[in-house]
């Protein structure tokens, strides 16, 4: 865990998240101001341009020799992970590796050409391209399940790539000839990955974490979220994955830096980052529970006619202040 | 706003609109192929959220800002 480095890509000069990350991981953080990755740009980019941009503006050979956890902004730009995974592989020679996709959405959905390739990448089509271009085995850790699509796998440039999923396990995929994408009943989206699937996939692993996977009680994002998935549940899932995998890089995104005043969201991200890096989280999880209780009180105060917090509101107030957060992290 | 700045904003608006059209196309495909077991597929809802975000981005570009004026 000593060789982890945190890279924060931000498009605003000073944000709460930047201050919180620097307090939480002293001496390990490199903040890179990348205004070119701001909103209104790069919704859809050719792969080559994306890689060139990251090589010029973001890649630093001194940092990427270590294991790097990149924290960046908006979920609309999840396709940057394509470039980040490539940079993480730069100095490593793996025949194959596992790509863990923690996300409320699958991001492998768009029109492809005859070979299964996409000329341009955007936030909904990059997962199978990572698998095809960088020889990865995709492992879906999210609620979106498509039985037929998953049992068919990807077909890219004549190669068949299996899709693993924490709910729709290989055993389940092979148990039946799935002819449509109907999801079996009783599915919550918070299941633990199968040990068998974790054993058969390659040991080196890259992990991408889109924060909209988490419940609205944990974090504010600008996408739909799964209210059944708490941070503690994610920690349990990570505890099951870690014994089978060696994580060589990771990224976290989905908390846009144009909307960063929510201290509880920052706390959630820091705990998640610590969990990915293999650091202890128990003390911070207790503080997180305290903050969520305070938030529950604010939600309930609607019945007393006081000021109240609505989880639908994307600019809602946080139950904890910045000062409290920084003190807890230091 | 200088003409150069206006050109950048117009390009960003075009990019946003094209992203919106692509999102609507994808949403329609999800409508045709999404999981029948659910009321609305997660992916359909996510495309709707993306469209709300893109609309917000577009409206922000419509407003004159200090940096651009």
The structural domains of chain A, with segments of one domain joined by +, span: 4-329
B41·A143 Cβ contact <8 A: no
Q: Give this prediction's pTM.
A: 0.91
DSSP SS3 for A46: strand
A145·B35 Cβ contact <8 A: yes
CATH of A4-329, one of 1.10.3470, 3.40.50, 3.40.800, 2.60.40: 3.40.800
Question: In chain A, what percentage of residues exceed pLDDT 90?
Answer: 54
| pLDDT of res. A197 | 94
Checking phi first, is residue A317 left (phi over 0); if not, alpha (psi -120 to 50) or beta?
beta
Identity of the residue in A41, A181, A185 whose CB atom sits nearest the CB atom of B12: A41
Q: What ipTM goes with this model? A: 0.75
A224·B29 Cβ contact <8 A: no
What whole-number distance in Å separates Cα of residue B48 and Cα of residue B24? Answer: 8
| pLDDT of res. A199 | 95
Q: List, for residues A196-251, the tens digit of each pLDDT value.
A: 999 999 999 999 999 999 999 999 998 999 888 999 999 999 999 999 999 999 99
Q: List, for residues A16-44, the tens digit of each pLDDT value.
A: 999 999 999 999 999 988 877 766 667 88
What whole-number distance in Å separates Cα of residue A65 and Cα of residue A256? Answer: 27
Classify burial at A29, counting beta carbons within 10 Å of its beta carbon; exposed 0-12, middle 13-18, buried 19 or more.
middle
B57·A39 Cβ contact <8 A: yes
Question: How many residues are there in chain A?
Answer: 330
A223·B49 Cβ contact <8 A: yes
Contacts of A223 in chain B (CB under 8 A): 46, 49-50, 53
| pLDDT of res. A96 | 94
Mutate to test the interface with B, among A43, A127, A223, A227 (most CBs of B within 10 A): A43
First to last CA, chain B: 4
């Amino acid at each position: 865990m000593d060789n982890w480095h945190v890279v924060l890509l931000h498009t605003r000069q000073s944000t709460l998240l930047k201050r919180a990350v620097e307090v939480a991981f002293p001496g390990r953080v490199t903040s890179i101001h990348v205004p070119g990755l701001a909103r209104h740009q790069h919704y859809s980019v050719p792969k080559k341009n994306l890689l060139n941009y990251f090589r010029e503006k973001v890649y630093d050979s001194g940092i990427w020799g270590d294991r790097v956890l990149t924290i960046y902004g908006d979920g609309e730009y999840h396709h940057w992970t394509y470039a980040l995974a490539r940079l993480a592989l730069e100095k490593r020679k793996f025949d194959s590796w596992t790509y863990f996709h923690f996300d409320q959405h699958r991001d492998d959905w768009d029109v492809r050409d005859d070979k299964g390739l996409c000329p341009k990448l955007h936030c909904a089509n990059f997962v199978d391209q990572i698998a095809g271009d960088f020889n990865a085995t995709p492992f879906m850790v999210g609620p979106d399940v498509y039985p037929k699509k998953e049992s068919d796998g990807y077909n890219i440039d004549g190669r068949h790539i299996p899709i693993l999923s924490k709910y729709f396990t290989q055993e389940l995929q092979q148990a039946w000839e799935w002819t449509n994408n109907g999801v079996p009943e009783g599915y919550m989206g918070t299941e633990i990955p199968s040990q068998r699937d974790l054993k058969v996939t390659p040991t080196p692993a890259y992990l991408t974490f889109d924060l909209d996977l988490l419940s609205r009680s944990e974090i504010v994002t600008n996408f739909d979220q799964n209210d059944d998935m708490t941070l503690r549940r994610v920690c349990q899932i990570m505890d099951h994955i870690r014994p089978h995998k060696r994580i060589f890089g990771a990224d976290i995104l989905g908390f846009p830096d144009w909307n960063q005043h929510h201290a509880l969201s920052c706390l959630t991200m820091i705990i998640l980052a610590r969990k990915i890096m293999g650091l202890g989280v128990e003390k911070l999880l207790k503080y997180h529970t305290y903050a969520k209780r305070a938030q529950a009180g604010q939600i309930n105060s609607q019945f007393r006619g006081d000021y109240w917090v609505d989880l639908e509101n994307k600019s809602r107030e946080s139950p904890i202040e910045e000062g409290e957060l920084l003190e807890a992290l230091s | 706003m200088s003409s150069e700045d206006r050109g950048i904003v117009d390009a960003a608006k075009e990019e946003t609109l094209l992203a919106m059209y692509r999102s609507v196309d994808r949403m329609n495909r999800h409508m045709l192929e999404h999981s029948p077991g659910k009321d609305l597929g997660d992916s359909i809802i996510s495309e709707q959220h993306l469209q709300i975000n893109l609309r917000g981005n577009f409206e922000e570009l419509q407003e004159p800002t200090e940096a651009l004026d």
